[in-house]
Structure 1
Amino acid sequence: MINLEELDLHLVVYCEKRFIDGYDLKYNIINNLLQLNKFVFNIRSCLPLNDQVYLSSNEDCQLSFNGFKNKKIISCIDYFPDRKKG
């Protein structure tokens, strides 16, 4: 898989502590696929709101994608306190 040139990834991920962001994608996927030229992704992270001291903002998420080339990235973080989910 290290010779993979294009990747189209669509995920729904249930996280425990934080949302999936650009740092996760870069260090866990992109850095391991040296021939990757095109990466299209749609990732939905779901997070239970327990006793988090810090909650990520849309700006935090957008900043995590700064190292991406040719980026056309839309990020959105929503919190639903009544359902205790993000």
Structure 2
Amino acid sequence: MVLISWYLMLPPPVFPPVKDASGDYKMNTTAPISQWIKFKTFKSEDSCKARLKKMPAFYKCIASYDTALKPAATPSTSTVSGAAGSHMQ
């Protein structure tokens, strides 16, 4: 049996830090979920969502099995340079 957790996720801050009109730091809500910060871990979706109601609107509950938590794959530099090298012959 796989143990499933729920994460209350916080988006990363905007860099360089910028404050909004109310004096709070702006958050990068467009960043991929894999770059968000795990604020708190819960054993169930219901408990995560209950806590979410008390948080600012930009927080999200994400299941531990959600594929969005995994960083996107990047192409291998050895493959790219190898392909470029073969065209140079």
State TM-score, norm by structure 1.
0.27
State TM-score, norm by structure 2.
0.27
Q: Which structure's residues are more often helix, by fraction? A: 2
Return the index of the structure with the highest Cα Rg: 2
